[in-house]
Amino acid sequence: MKPVLSVLILAMAALFASGLSAPGLKAQEPLRIEITEGVIEPLPFAIPMFVAETAGASDVARDITGLVSADLTGTGLFREIPASAHISQVATFAQPVAYADWRAINAQALIIGAVSVNGSQLVVKFRLYDVFSGEELGDGLQFAGTTDGWRRIAHKVSDAVYSRITGEGGYFDSRIVFVSETGPKDNRLKRLAIMDYDGANVQFLTDSGALVLAPRFSPTGDRVLYTSYESGFPRINVLDVASVGRRQLPTAEGSMAFTPRFSRDGGQVIYSLSNGGNTDIWRTDLASGQHTQLTNAPSIETAPSLSPDGSRIVFESDRSGTQQLYIMSANGGEPTRISFGEGRYGSPVWSPRGDLIAFTKQNAGRFHIGVMRTDGSEERLLTASFLDEGPTWAPNGRVLMFTRETQGASGGPRLYSVDISGRNLRQLPLSGFASDPSWGPLQQ
């Protein structure tokens, strides 16, 4: 069938080519245009105040509407059209959408929601509309929880809206573990703390008795690995987030163990171990307690990070004379260097999307957070400052959070986030100093 068709088409083409075609036929030929230039701008959306369906729900409805809007605009990818510009008023959740009214104010997406409160029970539902095509994007969704969990519910609404519009997962209902720092610069007290992605709900996981560094979430967010100086030497601890109980991770023999990370299934830990002045990368299986040495070189190999599929490890090494990034198989073997620019590269982290590696770069007296593809191409520096370091990926691989330290006696570390396009650099609204963020997964 297909060859016959092809022949027919070819015959017609030949007719065209020889100029025998009828004018009427030719008019059917579509106009072909290629568009290669667009604009990069936040997508305007409208989110009328969620309808309060029960008495007394209006306060929480207002809070949830505000938080959903803040989540979306905070990405830099969306812009809210203020309610004062709305033509159409939304009085009930079920009322038909007056698309023309929303088109008139150039709202491209419309979020309609409703909130009901029954005792401490909170129910939030919403629908999302693509205004210009006049279609609903996905089905309506409903979340139920308790009133004091309203922030999480709002984040869940934001995640759903975000992923329906962008086609990628969200990251709003996620948490970050970090090192909270208080006190003067020469005597900082450091504690592990956990918070929502937006800096709300800070809770402490350790007291300030011993120096703690570099917490790392497990893939499911239930445990945290960190480096503790409780014994005087750096040792890796595992902390259970729910119970805040902790234990030391048994590692292979060595004077210092640090930069730990979980494997994707949470069953193994890769870390660096220092022994007699030489540092290499090791892996410990948590169930069997078996230790495996993955690199064996006289140089310093550290800061390992696994690819999302668990097959490869990116790490930093000074085997070339300067600190650079390398990739090897997850079971060790000959590494391939991927960073070739000027300066020193460190603390690589593999993107959860798998396509990029984030890193810290030091060059010409400045620090940068940057990304490159896994073959080292398309290197792009996103930030520049006196001291930026330690990037961590949002669960959808879209945003990086890192530590930025300011100079001077009153200076200190703070947490910042930046979109991987280099736009939307923001400081997290935390009251005190903070460092070493590790972004956890989306909560279930």
DSSP string for 49-116: PPEE-STT-HHHHHHHHHHHHHHHHHTTSEEEPPGGG--S---STTSPP-HHHHHHTT-SEEEEEEEE
Q: Taking the complex as a whole, how short is the minimal distance between the CB of residue 126 and other proteins, in angstroms?
A: 10
Closer residue to other proteins in complex, CB, 335/437 = 437
Cβ proximity to other proteins, 44 vs 332, nearer residue: 44
Nearest CA among 244, 284, 234 for reference residue 261? 284
Given the complex with other proteins, which of 312 and 398 has the nearer CB atom? 398
Per the CB < 8 A criterion, the answer to whether 430 and 162 are in contact is: no
> Please, which residue, 333 or 354, has the CB nearer to other proteins?
354
Pairing state of beta strands 399-405 and 388-393? antiparallel
In the complex, least distance from residue 412 CB atom to other proteins, rounded to whole angstroms: 9
CB of 258 to other proteins, least distance (A): 19
Minimum CB distance to other proteins smaller for 333 or for 380? 380
Hey, is 37 helix, strand or coil? coil
When computed from its CA atoms, the radius of gyration of the chain, rounded to whole angstroms, is 27
**Which residues does residue 329 pair with via DSSP β-bridges, in sequence order?**
312, 332
Smallest separation (angstroms) from other proteins to the CB of 305? 20
How far apart CA 123 and CA 32 sit, in angstroms, is: 50
From the CB of 384, what's the least distance to other proteins, in Å?
Answer: 4
- Backbone φ/ψ region at 242: left (φ over 0), alpha (ψ -120 to 50), beta: alpha
| Residue placing its CB nearer to other proteins in the complex, 101 or 136 | 136
Strands 174-182 and 189-196: antiparallel
Q: What distance in Å separates the CA atoms of residue 232 and residue 241, rounded to the nearest whole number? A: 24
Instruction: Give me the least distance between CB of 357 and other proteins, in Å please.
Output: 15
